Amino acid sequence: MDIIRHAGQAPLWRNLASRLLNQTAILVGRVVSDALAVQGTHRYQLAVLATLDAFGAVSQAELCRRTNIDRSDMNAVVNALESEALVTRVSDPEDRRQNIVEMTETGKARFESLKAGLAEAENRALAPLARADRRELLRLLRILHDYHAAPPASAEGPG
Amino acid sequence: MDIIRHAGQAPLWRNLASRLLNQTAILVGRVVSDALAVQGTHRYQLAVLATLDAFGAVSQAELCRRTNIDRSDMNAVVNALESEALVTRVSDPEDRRQNIVEMTETGKARFESLKAGLAEAENRALAPLARADRRELLRLLRILHDYHAAPPASAEGPG
DNA sequence: CTAGATCGTTGGCGTCACCAACGATTTATC
DNA sequence: GATAAATCGTTGGTGACGCCAACGATCTAG
């Protein structure tokens, strides 16, 4: 059909959905990460801030579930956020295993600031797609994502 | 609209295209990587084998351009492939700066074997999408990818 | 009280993408 | 021919990211 050869890639490699997904995720991710980096923030940190903004003070374990971040990494992320006074971490008096993480006013301000930058970055990242195409892309990605996202603790174990 | 909460993620985080891209790329990539891992092969190695299969013997630098892999990493990849006797690496007599990398018969066999596994893996990875949806997804991803892929060596340098 | 589960923490691993610098070599310029 | 610029392979290092194993502390179930 249409011979595109913007760098000359092997057909199999070029047509591999996984590669295309990966490569595009990198390029798009870079635009977003740059927008975050301007404010000295990482993707993981944004995930946590967004989760706290949406669900209020929750435990680290809860953050892990909602962000799909590993416990080990979550610890480091909360450390970083805490050292910047963007969140507080206190031991839950009702269950002393847990730490309750809560956003500070500084954290909220940072988050609002990040949101603005993010909106612009996303817009720049998706620039070549019309509104309908953006929605379609997100729809398809969501299908794929939800399909592969392991449903844990259900009755859907490996046959 | 439809309230989906398969784990309960923050709206901003959930609706972030870059996150969805990244997450999906990981999940889909895992399916493919597993298929490669069965034969002791990495993604980078597949990229090189596919490129050699499509374009014949080329230099490492050429491989870098066509696969978008960094020079340093390419060196390691070729080392690994060479140690498995999947490729040969000889100094180009016409330009002794370059190494000419070429697939061996063993390499070709491995590649054919990988192709079979790949096709199946891709099919499994894209299982929840109908044919039309798969094509649509690839189309949209390609638009995004090509838009962000820096066109090198052209007259399109940074303004 | 014991066993099991959960949580936070520490430490480590491997992949992936990237960058800086060096020597060797080729090409372009004078 | 000498010099400068560019290219190539190689080495070494960096950082984000995703993941796993193990430990002590704690809560829950029996």
For position B9, what pLDDT does the model report?
Answer: 84
The string of pLDDT tens digits covering residues A34-76 is: 999 999 999 999 999 999 999 999 999 999 999 999 999 999 9
Instruction: Kindly tell me if the per-residue pLDDT of A4 is higher than 70.
Output: no
Q: At B102, is the pLDDT very low, low, confident or very high (cuts 50, 70, 90)?
A: very high
Higher pLDDT, A5 or B35: B35
Closest residue in chain A to residue B153, using alpha carbons only: A7
Instruction: Kindly tell me if the per-residue pLDDT of A14 is higher than 50.
Output: yes
Interface of B with A in 83-142 (CB under 8 A): 115, 118, 121-122, 125-129, 133-134, 136-138, 140-142
For position B150, what pLDDT does the model report?
Answer: 55
Residue of B2, B22, B126 for testing the chain A interface, max A β-carbons within 10 Å: B22
CA dihedral A81, B14, B128, B67 (to 10 degrees): -60
Q: At A12, is the pLDDT very low, low, confident or very high (cuts 50, 70, 90)?
A: confident
The string of pLDDT tens digits covering residues A128-138 is: 999 999 999 99
Q: At A112, is the pLDDT very low, low, confident or very high (cuts 50, 70, 90)?
A: very high
For the sheet with B99-103, list strands across it: B58-59, B99-103, B87-91
Instruction: List the structure tokens of A114.
Output: 């990040």
**Cβ within 8 Å of residue A18, ≥6 positions away:** B25, B28, B29, B31, B32, B121, B122, B125
DSSP β-bridge partners for residue B99: B91
For position A150, what pLDDT does the model report?
Answer: 55
Nucleotides of C under 7 A from a protein CB: 6-12, 15-21, 23-27
Instruction: Kindly tell me if the per-residue pLDDT of B7 is higher than 70.
Output: no
